[in-house]
């Protein structure tokens, strides 16, 4: 956990468990030592949030942006590599098609090549879109410098909407990532 104003990180001790009780006890120890932050940022861990409940007084506990940025960046990276794989498959099929044409059997791979080309186009477009959205979140919406809060919220809502529209193209990856990014407070 981190105090926003001072950027002081606290509770950096090695623990055997990461549960509500451990967090609660450690936070009470820190309160006894004089730690009474007005506002703090932490990850979305349920044990941490449950342990902090009532033990930080009136302190506002907000979610960090690192994990959302990281998840979107990882999603973009995954999709870029998937698109690269689609390109490799298409290139391999084109090479095979050229060999088949030399033997008068060029039509054998026509359907597979058409499907591969379509898959590549879709994968490349999706990867580009998600990279753009991820960069936008990192560089414009959640960065320290940038537009005002109202504009950031509009941009964030737009990004979430765009992710939702593309979810059907890769639901096992996009759905969970879209839910993991916190809206600017």
Of 34, 63, 92, the position where a domain reaches its end is 63
For residues 112 and 144, membership in a common domain is answered with yes
pLDDT tens digits for 28-76? 888 888 877 777 777 777 787 777 777 776 677 777 777 788 889 999 9
pLDDT of 97 higher than 90: yes
For residues 80 and 28, membership in a common domain is answered with no
Distance CA 88, CA 90 (A): 5
Burial 6-29 (b: 16+ CB within 10 A, else e): eeeebbeeeeeeeebebbbebbee
pLDDT of residue 14: 82
Residue 185, in any domain of the structure? no
pLDDT tens digits for 116-152? 999 999 999 999 999 999 999 998 888 888 888 899 9
* Closest by Cα among 91, 85, 69, 81 to 144: 69
For residues 88 and 146, membership in a common domain is answered with yes
Residue 10, in any domain of the structure? yes
For residues 22 and 86, membership in a common domain is answered with no
Of 32, 63, 94, the position where a domain reaches its end is 63
Of 16, 43, 63, the position where a domain reaches its end is 63
- 0.85 surpassed by pTM: no
For residues 81 and 120, membership in a common domain is answered with yes
**Domain range holding 15?**
2-63
Q: Are 181 and 162 in contact (CB under 8 A)?
A: no
Q: What are phi and psi of 22, to 5 degrees?
A: -60, -50
* Closest by Cα among 141, 163, 152, 179 to 76: 163
For residues 130 and 166, membership in a common domain is answered with yes
For residues 50 and 70, membership in a common domain is answered with no
Q: Specify the number of domains making up the chain.
A: 2
């Amino acid at each position: 956990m981190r105090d926003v104003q001072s950027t002081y990180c606290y509770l950096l001790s090695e623990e055997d468990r990461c549960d509500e009780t451990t967090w609660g006890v450690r936070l009470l120890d820190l309160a006894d030592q004089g730690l009474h932050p007005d506002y703090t940022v932490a990850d979305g861990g349920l044990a941490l949030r449950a342990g902090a409940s009532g033990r930080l007084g009136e302190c506002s506990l907000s979610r960090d942006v690192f994990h959302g940025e990281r998840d979107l960046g990882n999603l973009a990276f995954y999709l870029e590599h998937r698109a690269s794989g689609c390109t490799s498959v298409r290139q391999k099929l084109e090479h095979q098609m050229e060999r088949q044409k030399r033997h008068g059997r060029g039509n054998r791979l026509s359907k597979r090549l058409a499907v591969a080309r379509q898959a590549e186009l879709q994968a490349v477009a999706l990867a580009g879109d998600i990279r753009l959205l991820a960069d936008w979140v990192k560089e414009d919406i959640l960065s320290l410098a940038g537009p005002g809060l109202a504009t950031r919220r509009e941009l964030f809502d737009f990004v979430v909407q765009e992710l939702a529209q593309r979810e059907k193209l890769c639901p096992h990856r996009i759905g969970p990532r879209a839910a993991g990014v916190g809206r600017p407070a």
